[in-house]
Structure 1
Amino acid sequence: MANLPYSLIAEKAVLGSMMISREALLNCVALLEEEDFYVKDHKIIFQTIRNVHRRQLKVDTVTVSEQLALDGNLKKLSRQEYILELVDEVVSPSSAEDYLKIIKDKTVLRNLVSVANNIVSNWDKEEMEDIGTYVARAEQDILKITRSRNVGGFESARDVLKVLKEKLFNSSKNKGELTGINSGFKDLDVLTNGFQSGDLIILAARPSMGKTALALNFVLNAAEKTGRTIGIFSLEMPSEQLMQRMLSSSSNVNSSKIRSLNLNENEWTKIDVAVNKLSNTKIYVDDTAGAKLADIQAKARKLKNIHDDLGLIIVDYLQLITTPTGAKGDNRQLEVAEISRGLKEMARELRVPVIALSQLSRAVEKRTDKRPMLSDLRESGSIEQDADLVMFIYRDDYYRHEKDNEGEDKDVGIVELNIAKHRNGPTGDVELVFLKEYGLFSGKPKFE
């Protein structure tokens, strides 16, 4: 096979500069690894320079040569005077950062070649996974390589503050506007300032509390108020059933009547209006059951590439996602930890808020006060750790059937939405009203 991509001149220049300039030494030691060098002699010399530096000795031709001899590596070099040649050939140590970038770019190219070779060599193996996983893994491998191109280091406070000041100035010109995606619920947006880009948001509840319905309300509100693209991964419910729920919420027609088609003329008119309204939104649904984490990441990435205005992603729900770890029968908590971490990485990479629905453990049902707590997040504390925002749904009417003075059920439809964790803002409770027959949430009216 022909030589893989590398730059002999850049590798020699970097190693020589490291033995002349302390600035070049510190920069290259921090940003380069042994595998970044293609020439075998250069791998040995770089590792030796790094060892001398770690021993807090001055790095120069003498100390490096001595260390090579002590490690028995001097004889492994093609010629023993090579160390002196590296230093003699340095034109400008101050250009070491430019040489470093060339080396890193060649590393990326070599890794791409390696991934491509693996793709070619593995396609016909009998034990190959299903094609979706195979493609998603190849895409992930390539993405990891492209991410590694960033060889930057620290940013100064001055540079960070300059960007921050500009953002604050732009926000000040739009007072009253949210910095994130509008949820459609004023009291919630007051606490969150909208769903923020790059955030992993967990919406959790026990079954039948209305978490899917609330998530779909978020979708409808965001689509209407922002006009941006919304992606939904529905692992539990077919897309038609999901759209039927949104149709009920949007039209204010009872969902059971839509299912039975027992509709009067006025209701059919409402349905027609809602269909036209929803058809003009940019809502996309993927209803693949048992979707793998890698598939979700790949499909979300593709949606972002096609629709650069992607504003929100919904995943319903987290515990139904599968991973290669789970397929091998490993600990379920490790699998859920991998899923939550993967969803957080997806949110940051695509720079969109990701709302993941989650189940709660049965421990809730064993307590007198059945309001959820962070410890109730099912199967993994890593969900709490990875999430930027955790919201719990609690409906008192689900557990109690108290009557008011007129004999009617008390507080029916009153929902407590508790923000139990908020990495970048306040926590608190938001009261909503849930009209279950329409799958519709609204803010609770405030009376003086």
Structure 2
Amino acid sequence: MTQRIPSKELIHRAGSERALLSICLNKPEELIVASSNGLLPDMFAVDGHKYIYMAMNYLYSKGEQLDPISILNVYTDDRAKQAIEELGGVDYIEALKTTPVANNTKLFVEHIIQASARREVYETALKVADEAIKAKDKDLSEYLMGVESKFRDITLEYQVSQEVVPIGEGVAERLKQRLLNPQEVIGLKTGWRKFDKLTQGLKAGELTIVGARSKTGKSVTLLNWSRKISVEDKVPALYIDTEMFTEEQQDRLLAMLSRVPEVEIKNGMFGRDTINGKARDKIARLQEASRMLKEAPFYHVYLPHFTPEKIVALARKYQVEYGIGLLVFDYIKLPSSGGYVGEKEYQALGYLTSTLKDIAGTLQIPVVSAVQLNRGAVKAEEIDESMIAGSDRILQLANRVCFLRWKTEEERALSAGNQRFKIAFQRGGASNLDEIDIDFKTEILLQEEVS
């Protein structure tokens, strides 16, 4: 087999490395400029240059002179000394110091960092190619996720800015833009006016969790919000569903949009005159609802055998291909595939929640999900975090945790609506707020905020 040429011989900016060292030997303070622009010793392609750079930084930190003898004497390690000697030792460092070079520290640093990034991409590509041959028995989603992760790590390493800026930089311009374009709600609007005002909408990077008992309507809440955001406001959204087929959710959305009962949509009775209206009117409303759904940038996938890796892969795919501005995951639970053997339930749920939070941050989109409350929430008028499985981790990661419950008979008599929705915990906003009255029209799956 042909021996591979080392990446440092194929990809380098040795000339820029020499130029940078020359500048720093004559102007030691430029070492600070190089460092503050993200240059690390391991980014040098020439080992001798790396060790000279490290020695110069060490001497400068001690307030000592950067002369050739002192640079060599920094090292007791034979490998470092040999790497410098192979370049010419003291004579080479003297030549660097006397070589006239334009003071373009930032430019040379950019050259060195860019070459280092290209080497990492090259080396990673070789590893991926080798793995492609060997990974014949690996799960496809897991394999592709691993490949993507390797290259994403390089992107994050080289693109995440660590530049220190004055705290007041850009503030005046940002305030001016906000003054010229005021918005009552800065995030995506759910259609629940009070909720949107209290939360400022669903914002990029945030994870919102809705907790409720079974058959209370937590999935309906997620779908109602999605309808408003994606079908009505045309924001591209991906809905990952662990329980309901696409056809079932289509019928639910048609009922919400047309206000024709879901049961009539399913059994075809919308084509007959019934107590719910004239056939002609119902058909017309359903045709309009169908048109809205067809034109909506709303993507649904039924994924009962989910894994965190599959969720991440789908989210990234649909953001790249369709620019999704919202991810809905319905809902946080242990997968039926049994992929968490050996883990405690709260650990598995915490890991899944962490995945959703990471997606929100990495893709800079709002993520919404739901969680089922335990039996302690049955008929409870006051719901708290102890009723959530894996509550500690979920509370730690989520930007917002909300609870949905049915009203008691007494509460229904005193105020409008049949449900109550509460923002229990909220990062960057008020928490434990008064409950919001919700009217859940079960026959058309529509939840509306009522005053």
Matched to 1:288, the amino acid is L
The alignment status of 1:349 with 2:356, answered yes or no, reads no
The alignment status of 1:108 with 2:117, answered yes or no, reads yes
The alignment status of 1:191 with 2:191, answered yes or no, reads no
Structure 1 counterpart of 2:291 = 276
Once residues 19 and 350 of structure 2 are traced to their aligned partners in structure 1, the CA distance between those partners, rounded to angstroms, is: 44
Once residues 391 and 213 of structure 2 are traced to their aligned partners in structure 1, the CA distance between those partners, rounded to angstroms, is: 16
Structure 2 counterpart of 1:165 = 175
Once residues 76 and 227 of structure 1 are traced to their aligned partners in structure 2, the CA distance between those partners, rounded to angstroms, is: 60
Change (3 A) 1:289 1:45: farther
* Pairwise CA distance, 1:152: 4.7
Q: TM-score, normalised by structure 1?
A: 0.83
Matched to 2:203, the amino acid is Q
Once residues 27 and 332 of structure 1 are traced to their aligned partners in structure 2, the CA distance between those partners, rounded to angstroms, is: 49
Query: Are 1:293 and 1:323, in contact at CA under 8 Å, matched by a contact in 2?
Result: no
Query: Are 1:361 and 1:379, in contact at CA under 8 Å, matched by a contact in 2?
Result: no
Query: Are 2:334 and 2:345, in contact at CA under 8 Å, matched by a contact in 1?
Result: no
Matched to 2:443, the amino acid is E
Structure 2 counterpart of 1:34 = 41
Change (3 A) 1:28 1:341: farther
Matched to 1:421, the amino acid is F
The alignment status of 1:5 with 2:18, answered yes or no, reads no
* Pairwise CA distance, 1:322: 10
Matched to 1:6, the amino acid is H
More deviation, 205-214/266-275? 266-275
1:206 paired residue among 179, 204, 213: 213
Matched to 2:313, the amino acid is A
1:74-113 to 2 correspondences below 5 Å: 74-77=81-84, 78=86, 79-81=88-90, 82-89=92-99, 91-92=101-102, 94-113=103-122
Structure 2, unpaired ranges of 5+: 273-277
Q: TM-score, normalised by structure 2?
A: 0.82
* Pairwise CA distance, 1:202: 1.8
The alignment status of 1:136 with 2:145, answered yes or no, reads yes
Matched to 2:51, the amino acid is I
Query: Are 1:10 and 1:102, in contact at CA under 8 Å, matched by a contact in 2?
Result: yes
Matched to 1:352, the amino acid is I
Query: Are 1:251 and 1:271, in contact at CA under 8 Å, matched by a contact in 2?
Result: yes
CA displacement, residues 138-158 of structure 1 (integer Å, 9 cap, x when unaligned): 223222222333355123234
What SS does the corresponding residue of 2:423 show, helix, strand or coil? strand
* Pairwise CA distance, 1:354: 1.3
Once residues 15 and 143 of structure 2 are traced to their aligned partners in structure 1, the CA distance between those partners, rounded to angstroms, is: 38
Change (3 A) 1:377 1:403: closer
Structure 1 counterpart of 2:437 = 431
Change (3 A) 1:98 1:131: same
Change (3 A) 1:59 1:360: farther
The alignment status of 1:421 with 2:425, answered yes or no, reads yes
* Pairwise CA distance, 1:258: 3.7
Once residues 152 and 57 of structure 1 are traced to their aligned partners in structure 2, the CA distance between those partners, rounded to angstroms, is: 26
Matched to 2:420, the amino acid is E
Change (3 A) 1:264 1:376: same
2:312 paired residue among 297, 314, 319: 297
Structure 2 counterpart of 1:250 = 257
More deviation, 33-42/19-28? 19-28
Matched to 1:415, the amino acid is Q
2:301 paired residue among 264, 286, 310: 286
CA displacement, residues 145-196 of structure 1 (integer Å, 9 cap, x when unaligned): 2233335512323433144224312323xx55x3221111111112122212
* Pairwise CA distance, 1:244: 2.0
Query: Are 1:197 and 1:348, in contact at CA under 8 Å, matched by a contact in 2?
Result: yes
Once residues 196 and 83 of structure 2 are traced to their aligned partners in structure 1, the CA distance between those partners, rounded to angstroms, is: 65
Structure 2 counterpart of 1:382 = 393
Matched to 1:170, the amino acid is L
Matched to 1:354, the amino acid is V
Once residues 216 and 59 of structure 1 are traced to their aligned partners in structure 2, the CA distance between those partners, rounded to angstroms, is: 68
Once residues 439 and 323 of structure 1 are traced to their aligned partners in structure 2, the CA distance between those partners, rounded to angstroms, is: 30
Once residues 393 and 319 of structure 2 are traced to their aligned partners in structure 1, the CA distance between those partners, rounded to angstroms, is: 26
Query: Are 1:19 and 1:59, in contact at CA under 8 Å, matched by a contact in 2?
Result: no
Once residues 186 and 132 of structure 1 are traced to their aligned partners in structure 2, the CA distance between those partners, rounded to angstroms, is: 40
The alignment status of 1:358 with 2:371, answered yes or no, reads yes
What SS does the corresponding residue of 1:123 show, helix, strand or coil? helix
Name the % identity: 21
Once residues 430 and 53 of structure 1 are traced to their aligned partners in structure 2, the CA distance between those partners, rounded to angstroms, is: 62
Change (3 A) 1:91 1:126: closer
The count of aligned residue pairs is 429
Structure 2 counterpart of 1:43 = 50
* Pairwise CA distance, 1:136: 2.6
**CA RMSD for the aligned pairs?**
3.3
* Pairwise CA distance, 1:395: 2.2
* Pairwise CA distance, 1:103: 1.5
Once residues 158 and 58 of structure 1 are traced to their aligned partners in structure 2, the CA distance between those partners, rounded to angstroms, is: 35
1:120 paired residue among 129, 132, 141: 129
Once residues 207 and 410 of structure 2 are traced to their aligned partners in structure 1, the CA distance between those partners, rounded to angstroms, is: 39
Once residues 372 and 41 of structure 2 are traced to their aligned partners in structure 1, the CA distance between those partners, rounded to angstroms, is: 45
Change (3 A) 1:136 1:440: same
Structure 1, unpaired ranges of 5+: none
Once residues 284 and 141 of structure 1 are traced to their aligned partners in structure 2, the CA distance between those partners, rounded to angstroms, is: 27
Matched to 1:182, the amino acid is K
Query: Are 1:24 and 1:97, in contact at CA under 8 Å, matched by a contact in 2?
Result: no
